[in-house]
Amino acid sequence: MRNHLLGVYFSDTELFSNLELTQFYYDRLSSDAGNTLPDYLGIADFTAHWPQVEQQALAGVIGRYRTLHDLAGLLEGMRALYADEEALRALLTALTEEALRYARDVKSRMGRGGRAAQAEGEEIEGSKEEESIGDEAELEDS
């Protein structure tokens, strides 16, 4: 078995699950075969139906997404990156440092109880709710 890349998408939401995609393919392939599937399916069976399956899968998306149309260029760039160990090491090191810096920044904001970050205009998830719960507890104690 080999994997084949049919589409790459960038999104702020889950576009479709593997189960949904499988169901869309099953429906499309079985309708062509008179509601039964052949014993063997080749890559041509999948690539021939991809435009309809992709359209059906993306029709239900709630959120923003972008489709990468230059798959060959993406694969060529990935192969070049992975073939150059020095460039790959530099990229992974930079990504690791950026992730650690982000984690430290978030941790330091949370360490201030969220109040300093809110004063700076940033919203920390759950902080307003926690404040109101704390205020209600104080009222009940008095």
77 and 17: one domain? yes
Domain hosting residue 57, numbered range: 8-83
Confidence grade of residue 119 (pLDDT, cut at 50, 70, 90): low
Q: Which amino acid is at 132?
A: S
For residue 135, give the DSSP letter: H
40 and 22: one domain? yes
In the structure encoding, which two tokens stand for residue 116, read together?
């300093």
Tell me what the mean pLDDT of segment 54-81 comes to.
92
Confidence grade of residue 80 (pLDDT, cut at 50, 70, 90): very high
For residue 121, give the DSSP letter: T
For residue 2, give the DSSP letter: -
What is the distance in angstroms between the CA of the first residue and the CA of the last residue of the chain? 69
Confidence grade of residue 121 (pLDDT, cut at 50, 70, 90): low
69 and 101: one domain? no
How many structural domains compose the chain?
Answer: 2
21 and 65: one domain? yes
Domain-terminating residue out of 53, 83, 113: 83
**What pTM was estimated for this model as a whole?**
0.57
